[in-house]
Amino acid sequence: MIFVEAGQRSLRSFDSQLIFAEQLNARGFNACIGSEYLPENAGRGRIYEAAKFLVDQEEYQASTVFILGAEEIDDLLLSSLRQKKLALETPVIATGRFKSQQSYVGAKARLAYALGREANVIDLTEMQPRSILPTAASPLVAELGQGPRPIRQKTAVTVVLGSIELDTTDTLSCLARMSNQSAYTLRIIVSGAQNEAIKASPFSDLPTLLYTDLSPHSLAGSTDILAMFGTGVAGVRMATLAVELIAAGGVAIDCTEDEALMSAGAPALLGPKSLFAFDGYLTGKVLGHRAMIAQQASKSPWLQTVDIARLEAAARLSAPAPKTAPSGRQTLFLPTNGVGLGHAQRCTIIAKALPQRSKPIFAAFHSCVPLVRREGIDCIPLVARASAEDHINANDILTYRRLSAALNTADTFVFDGGYVFDSVYRVIQERRLSAVWLRRGLWPKGRSRPAMLRREGIFDRVIVPSEAFDELNDAYSYGDHVHYVGPIVRQVDQSKSEREALRERLADRFGRDFKHLVVSMLGGGVASDRSAQLQALSGMFEKRTDCLHLVVTWPGSVVHPSAFGWTNTRVVHTLEATSLGLAADLVVSAAGYNSVLEILYHQLPAILIPQSAPYLDDQERRARALADRDLCAIVTERELMKLERTVSDCLDHGETEVYQAALQTIEPPKTGAEQAARLIAEVGGNHG
């Protein structure tokens, strides 16, 4: 275990530790950072990045200690070295940019006093006489000779705005024009202040990234052309990005006011200092000549000064054992709903339709795990957010760690959800996965389309399972990567004899005969509180001795305690809600995607009570589409008096027969699970 330490504890030094630890890990070393280095103001992005490196130093034995920024050593570092009680054979390497021989000797003396022996101190000013960021604690190195860069359909261009002030709309409109170019894809790296200015402008949909949204290593891997603006290099992260990109055969364009890259001897192009001239320069002089530019850059002697292999040799680090290549490829599904299980059910249907050569695996929240494993599919359990008091990103950071451990570069990642979480975004970029977004539509009014689609570009394909009726199929984005498939629905066969046998088992189980069986499936109580509707239903069925009312929920769902105090109402936790619905005389249901499709495809007489939580799809619109065709009754969540009349109409006045007759005249669309599975398999087959 290589402990990466720093001469001083600061946000800037911590960035250097993160960068160097990731570079060592990419080379096959096992690097870590003591948790005491995590700054209080680290910010969300750094916490995700640090999650894979932070350790409690007393729990691990250091095989090597690597100290960055040794030109400035504080007492905290010296104390940390003493506490480690390192064995005499444990190497201690320190790097720094020393202004004089005296400062170099002073650093060696301070380290020797703390260690009781000499440390191997490397002066980076000798290895890198012309650093692009002389103040960086990071060694600013990269791996050379990584082979040919991946060929993308469109050139990926990353622009670092640096110190440019966004005080006019002209600058933003220029960036907006560039973001709509067909010749390349644009990504803009901005500071927090710049990002706020963009969000508050009419150009809030610009493809921006904060400096800490992705590591420099990941940014370099997903960039073909890098352009830097402003004055100087915008910190150690952007300096590392430039070094890694050039070392990997990418094209760097120096548009800085002081020509920071060119003056350091880096093999970069000298570009225009104005954003307004950049697009013409890029399309006219760079895009068509990338291979030639990269070939010329590869001959630059400057590259040898940033070769990480030279630093490893100077540090006398033993080459790690080569990593064993993973056997086979896998397709990992991440359904994001941990209670309703609609996402998980949809994903299992598609996973079972994958070709035999594909190896599906799931990562899902605890309530989804039984459903997934029942289908014979392995599942990595995830941890849901326990309470509002938890750190807002705590469980997603853990999800990110588990996904990172489970996925390899050759794998396919399938995400089913509305909002692309940081864990999903990061692991796709860092592992360079082929990725598919299963994206449901019917977003409610007021939901920000730009915010929802902001991260669509990281997916190779977007698969949209359709609704049952055309007027419900909204289009949110366009392009060859977007594919519409038929509805994804789980279908259950139940004969008349099986239906009667199930009703008899229910009568035996609950110790009472019944004429009418009513099944309520209103959700788990997390998306929106349905206790009022359940109370109203239970109260009206309490007066009907010929009825058995089952409140059906998924295992692990939340049910209000008041549902358990009735004679004619029973709460049932089951994964076979559809079978109970087929045996029922009436189904009372929310109007979610899965529920409505199961009602249509199984021709179940139903009363729909749409949920209305702001982060759900537009359930009322879906329910209205059925009710307008006389396929069901609809009762909004506040119409409790209407609910009682509607139940009576269904059970006492033949309304269920009306709905069943109408349902039999509807021919629902062909289901799309096999088409979705084929599209996912194609993405995996084309990867690499």
Q: How far apart are the first and last CA of the chain?
A: 31
CATH superfamily of the domain spanning 496-665: Glycogen Phosphorylase B; (3.40.50.2000)
Alpha-carbon torsion angle 560, 565, 568, 574, nearest 10: 40
Residue with more model confidence, 126 or 322: 126
- Mean pLDDT to the nearest integer, 645-659: 94
Per DSSP, 172 falls in state: H
Query: SS3 for 344-382, per residue?
Result: HHHHHHHHHCCCCCCCEEEEEECCCHHHHHHCCCCEEEE
pLDDT given for residue 48 in this prediction: 95
pLDDT given for residue 387 in this prediction: 62
pLDDT given for residue 338 in this prediction: 60
In the chain, CATH 3.40.50.2000 sits at 331-488+673-686, 496-665
Q: How far is CA 670 from CA 44, 439, 465, 467, in A?
A: 44, 19, 11, 11
Q: By the 8 A CB rule, do 461 and 485 touch? A: no
pLDDT given for residue 525 in this prediction: 46
> Where does residue 551 rank: exposed (0-12), middle (13-18), buried (19+ CB within 10 A)?
buried
Alpha-carbon torsion angle 578, 580, 581, 583, nearest 10: 130
pLDDT given for residue 588 in this prediction: 96
Would the pLDDT of 133 be above 70? yes
- Mean pLDDT to the nearest integer, 167-175: 88
Buried/exposed 401-411: b ≥16 CB within 10 Å, e otherwise: ebbeebbeebb
The neighbour count for residue 155, using CB atoms within 10 Å, is: 19
Half-sphere exposure of 429 (CA within 13 A, CB side): 25
CATH number for 2-127 (one of 2.60.120, 3.40.390, 2.60.40, 3.40.50): it is: 3.40.50
CA angle 367, 370, 371 (to 5 degrees): 90
Position 246 confidence tier, pLDDT thresholds 50, 70, 90: very high
H helices of 271-421, in order, are: 275-281, 290-297, 302-305, 308-315, 342-352, 369-374, 394-406
- Reported as a single tens digit per residue, the pLDDT across 369-400 is 888 998 999 999 998 876 655 566 888 999 99
- Mean pLDDT to the nearest integer, 163-175: 88
- Reported as a single tens digit per residue, the pLDDT across 468-520 is 999 999 998 888 899 999 999 999 999 999 999 999 999 999 998 999 999 99
Would the pLDDT of 527 be above 60? no
Q: How far is CA 368 from CA 320, 350, 358, 612, in A?
A: 39, 15, 21, 23
pLDDT given for residue 688 in this prediction: 46
Position 339 confidence tier, pLDDT thresholds 50, 70, 90: low
- Reported as a single tens digit per residue, the pLDDT across 226-240 is 999 999 999 999 999
Q: By the 8 A CB rule, do 329 and 359 touch? A: yes
Which residues have C-beta within 8 Å of that of residue 352, sequence separation ≥ 6?
A: 360, 375, 377, 673
CATH superfamily of the domain spanning 331-488+673-686: Glycogen Phosphorylase B; (3.40.50.2000)
Extended beta strands in 166-235, E state:
184-190, 208-210, 225-228
Would the pLDDT of 409 be above 80? yes
CATH class for domain 155-315?
alpha beta
Nearest to 183 by CA among 249, 279, 269, 252: 279
551, containing H or E segment: strand 547-553
Looking at beta carbons, which pairs linking 310-313 to residues 24 or more positions away fall under 8 Å?
310/127, 310/141, 311/95, 311/122, 311/127, 311/139, 311/141, 312/27
Per DSSP, 513 falls in state: -
Q: By the 8 A CB rule, do 399 and 423 touch? A: yes
- Reported as a single tens digit per residue, the pLDDT across 439-465 is 988 887 766 677 788 899 899 999 999
> Beta strand pairing status for 482-485 and 461-465?
parallel
Q: By the 8 A CB rule, do 230 and 163 touch? A: yes
Position 639 confidence tier, pLDDT thresholds 50, 70, 90: confident
Q: Measure the CA–CA gap between 518 and 506, rounded to whole angstroms.
A: 12
Percent of the chain with pLDDT over 70: 94
Q: Measure the CA–CA gap between 309 and 27, rounded to whole angstroms.
A: 9
> Beta strand pairing status for 2-6 and 31-34?
parallel
pLDDT given for residue 102 in this prediction: 95
Encoded tokens for 523: 């959700």
Which residues have C-beta within 8 Å of that of residue 685, sequence separation ≥ 6?
A: none
